[in-house]
A and B are shown apart, each in its own frame.
Chain A
Amino acid sequence: MGSTTLILVIVVAAAASFDFTNGFHDTANAMATSIATGALKPMVAVLISAALNFLGAFISIAVATTIAKGIVSSSATAGTSGLFVVEAALLGAITWNLITWYFTIPSSSSHALIGGLIGASLAAVGSGAVSVHGIFQKVVAPGILAIFVCGIGAFLATSAAYLLIRRLGQEEARAGYRYGQIGSASLVSLAHGTNDAQKTMGVIALALISTGHLSAAHFTIPIWVKLLCATAMALGTATGGWRIINTMGNRITTVESPQGFSAEASSAATILASSYYGYPLSTTQVVSGGVMGAGLGKRGGVVHWPVVGQMVIAWVITLPSAGLVGAAAWNISNLFGKNSTAGAIVIVVLVAAIAFGLWTLSKRNQVTAQDLDRTSITPEIEAERAEAAGAPAVA
């Protein structure tokens, strides 16, 4: 096996590993509120989400053949040298995903990938490789707007849902909204698979084009790439990111079924509309905004702002932090010589060691599926609790 082929194999494996972390990191986006309200058992929720993520990867014919387009110069990721930049970027993103997972913070996997790419490109090519305007246009502004657009939608939807509950009756409404939640959360899972799996397909496709294994003139994503990305993301999702699900479903606000449905329906609409109009918004930030909006939309609803504050800090530092790790990975690799195979292997081993360390540390304060199971809270119990807390009474 030649050195270029070996680097290609490493990049493909790193891309699949990134998809795996993306899967368990972002499961929370789709299923956290359904788990929090007891609409679904945690394991059932993540298995549905995994299946839909897998399916989503095959739905769209549109594939992101450019990563961080308009942010990082395409020359930075082209050719054999570009493979090393992409590898460092992927490893930076994986590391940041694992760090935020350990600290139970929902952060954007896409932003981590972009951050890793910016850092590795800066280290490899210099400041000319990165567009600051592109960062604001494609990362910062959409990140802020996503929260407000989905948050306002969820706020209005929640307010309307609770008005209708007055006519419907607490128990029947809550039971009905639980079914709605399952549908809307499934749609978010499907959209997540469509958007995120295809970004990684694009990364692998570019690597294959760079090494001459794929023709750019007659470009199609090989079926094995689709299967690899879809499977990696589905497996990651199936492992269940319980730590982040706990934050999204239980720590931002106390979610009831009408709020969960409102948050997920608004999130699905926001993600699909933004994707359709070509203005991709981060799934994580969209859903977080939805959960906050739903929390505020209920009369007397409480949003735990210290938790939101932690999330916002994580969102702000995701780009520079993943960038620093990406740059560090590229520099460490470069210590062994330019485009060195040994360097490429060393940084993989380092990231594997970090992953193992974080996984071991996480065992100390483990969050399991059993901890999050709320299916014992029936719509009747939820209604009683809501009435006790002063929610709208049955008409």
Chain B
Amino acid sequence: MFALAASTAIVDWNAMWKIFLVVLIAGTGTVIVFGFLLLGLKLAHRLGTNDAEVGGSEGARAGGYVLAAVCGVIVIGVVVLGVYAMSQKPSSKPAKPKSALVIPAGPQVKVLASSQ
């Protein structure tokens, strides 16, 4: 119990599980989707070259391109989301408290702004 209480005080588990979820979706998920992108390209190219081993129709070839395109869009979307997350990360600028924004400056403490 003590260990659990101590770990709760030290670790922000609420943020941690969100981070872990993002890692699973955006990290692991992107690698899998990228693999399917390669699979789609392979399928399309193989069928395009009349590979006897694979065979198949024009429809299957188009399916390969569609799979690759969809996966490509997902991967690019994840990258765009990543760059967006970078630009939107929370500022560590000291937030304005309700009464006043105080920045200690050695012996002289300056009251810089009041929100009211």
A positions within 8 Å CB-CB of B: 56, 59-66, 69, 74-75, 78-82, 133, 136-137, 140-141, 145, 149-150, 152-154, 156-158, 160-161, 164-165, 167-169, 172-173, 176-177, 180, 183-184, 187, 190-191, 194, 202, 209-210, 216-217, 219, 258, 261-262, 265-270, 272-279, 281
List 9 other contacts, CB 8 Å, given A152-B20, A266-B28.
Answer: A56-B86, A74-B103, A79-B105, A145-B11, A149-B20, A156-B24, A265-B27, A266-B27, A275-B85
Alpha-carbon separation in the docked complex, A133 to B24 (Å): 30
Asked whether, in the complex, the Cβ of A61 is within 8 Å of the Cβ of B87, the reply is yes
B28-56 residues at the A interface, CB under 8 angstroms: 28, 30-32, 34-39, 41-42
Q: What's the nearest-Cβ distance from chain B to residue A356, in Å? A: 34
Known: A74-B104, A82-B106. A66 touches B42 (CB 8 A): no
Alpha-carbon separation in the docked complex, A354 to B16 (Å): 39
Tally of contact residues, B, Cβ under 8 A? 51
Q: Is B93 part of the binding interface, using a Cβ–Cβ cutoff of 8 Å?
A: yes
- Which among A61, A153, A173 has the highest number of chain B CB atoms within 10 Å? A153
Asked whether, in the complex, the Cβ of A273 is within 8 Å of the Cβ of B93, the reply is no
Total residue contacts A-B, CB cutoff 8 A? 188
User: For residue B28, which residues in chain A have a CB less than 8 angstroms away from its CB?
Assistant: 153, 156-157, 160, 262, 265-266
Asked whether, in the complex, the Cβ of A153 is within 8 Å of the Cβ of B18, the reply is no
Asked whether, in the complex, the Cβ of A277 is within 8 Å of the Cβ of B106, the reply is no
20 contacts between A and B (CB under 8 A): A61-B87, A61-B91, A62-B90, A63-B92, A133-B10, A137-B10, A145-B16, A152-B23, A154-B27, A160-B31, A169-B42, A190-B86, A191-B82, A210-B105, A261-B31, A262-B28, A266-B23, A272-B82, A274-B15, A279-B19
User: For residue B90, which residues in chain A have a CB less than 8 angstroms away from its CB?
Assistant: 62, 276, 278
User: For residue B10, which residues in chain A have a CB less than 8 angstroms away from its CB?
Assistant: 133, 136-137, 140-141
Asked whether, in the complex, the Cβ of B38 is within 8 Å of the Cβ of A176, the reply is yes
User: For residue A278, which residues in chain B have a CB less than 8 angstroms away from its CB?
Assistant: 15, 89-90
User: For residue A262, which residues in chain B have a CB less than 8 angstroms away from its CB?
Assistant: 28, 31
B67-87 residues at the A interface, CB under 8 angstroms: 75, 79, 82-83, 85-87
User: For residue B106, which residues in chain A have a CB less than 8 angstroms away from its CB?
Assistant: 75, 78-82, 210
User: For residue A194, which residues in chain B have a CB less than 8 angstroms away from its CB?
Assistant: 86, 89
Asked whether, in the complex, the Cβ of B32 is within 8 Å of the Cβ of A164, the reply is yes
Q: What's the nearest-Cβ distance from chain A to residue B71, in Å? A: 11
Asked whether, in the complex, the Cβ of B87 is within 8 Å of the Cβ of A60, the reply is yes
B31 closest partner in A (C-beta): A157
Asked whether, in the complex, the Cβ of B94 is within 8 Å of the Cβ of A65, the reply is yes
Q: What's the nearest-Cβ distance from chain A to residue B54, in Å? A: 11
Asked whether, in the complex, the Cβ of B38 is within 8 Å of the Cβ of A217, the reply is no
Known: A164-B32, A273-B85. A153 touches B112 (CB 8 A): no
Alpha-carbon separation in the docked complex, A94 to B86 (Å): 26
A277 closest partner in B (C-beta): B15
Asked whether, in the complex, the Cβ of B112 is within 8 Å of the Cβ of A269, the reply is no
Q: Is B97 part of the binding interface, using a Cβ–Cβ cutoff of 8 Å?
A: no
Alpha-carbon separation in the docked complex, A350 to B99 (Å): 45
Alpha-carbon separation in the docked complex, A63 to B25 (Å): 28
Name the one of B15, B27, B38, B42 contacting A268, with C-beta atoms under 8 angstroms: B27
Name the one of A63, A176, A268 contacting B82, with C-beta atoms under 8 angstroms: A268
